[in-house]
Amino acid sequence: MNKNSKIYIAGHRGLVGTAIMEELINKGYSNLIYKTHEELDLTNQKAVADFFEKEKPEYVILVAAKAGGILANNTYRADFIYENLQIQNNVIHSSYLYKVKKLIFIASTVIYPKNTSIPTKESQMLRGELEFTNMPYSIAKIAGLVMCESYNIQYKTNFIALAPINLYGNNDKFDLEKSHVMPALVRKFHLAKLLNEKKYDEILKDLNINDIQKAITYLKNFGIVENSVEIWGSGNQTREFLHSKDLAQACIHIMENINFSDLYNKNDKEIRNTHINIGVNKNISIKDLALMIKEIVGFKGNLVFDASKPDGFKEKLTDCSKIHSLGWKHKIELEEGIKMMYEWYLNNVYCNSGGGDNKKIIYSYSFYSDVYSKEVA
């Protein structure tokens, strides 16, 4: 891959897509193509095929997906499996038809069984029952991994699948209903802090609601009150977290240096589980994560854990020996990354809840100087 190679980033406006775009630009790649959902519906087979026929990208990074936390996964089960399968099928198949030189498909560690061995190696995929709350999403991602592998075996393509652990970072979704655990906790603690300090004007701006009593009632629905924040589950479940900037750098490292032929033994009679775990080889309990975010945000109240709500996986920790052997390792540690994320949130808040239009709110706080504050459309 050279600096003028035509690279298509599918999902360029999301958490990972914006990080990949920024890293590619920083490294001097200048021939990047991308489309918004309004310009190109990736669930539409003909639209995707027409796009590939016209643009003929040389490299593809497929990060577009319908994703969310436990609540969203468990609520929108049909949407999650249908839309993700459609996106994957269309982009991967068109990449084969139009002779893409290399494709990276980004999945998730939800592909692994709920009672998998810890740390989890790539070989554990399809070795047990999936966790119920995100099973439809998991099955879609497993299908994408197997699809890449199958096209490589049958058609000699060069499609590489990645299984990153829980992601967080700049440009994440902070929707209180649909977001992942990290952005949800950051926003919950921030709003609780404002409520505790009676900064009602800032709460109204953040939620895009014009009545403080409505805002307080709305927050209470998500366990956010003046002196405490409610968190789903026992708090004992553990998770591993990777900053989106680190994943972006891993993707580019793989695009530049790794091929499918590097991912299996040439003497193997069966080629399987060639995907790559991308993680940090460290996990943290949700309780300890919440305490860390509480400290960073500066909320003085209490934590309340609702054990009646699902924990999801009891423990998550990936074995990253494969990607380490291929020459990549993460750089951003968790506390540093959360400070970066909170700084971005304070300066680029998009209000996706509360019944209003998206709106950018500027705050005067500063916790971390080395951040990417560029607004992405």
Phi, psi at 166, each rounded to 5°: -50, 125
Hey, which bits of the chain come out as E strands? 7-10, 32-33, 59-62, 102-106, 159-164, 166-168, 224-225, 228-232, 238-239, 241-243, 276-278, 284-285, 302-306, 349-350, 360-361
- Among the options 137, 151, 168, 218, which is catalytic? 137
Which residues are CB-contacts of 291 (< 8 A; sequence separation ≥ 6)?
Answer: 303
Distance between CA atoms of residues 29 and 17, nearest Å: 15
Other Cβ atoms less than 10 A from the Cβ of 4: the count is 11
> Is residue 164 within 8 Å of residue 279, measured between CB atoms?
yes
SS3 at position 233:
coil
Decide if 137 is catalytic.
yes
SS3 at position 302:
strand
Residues belonging to the active site: 137
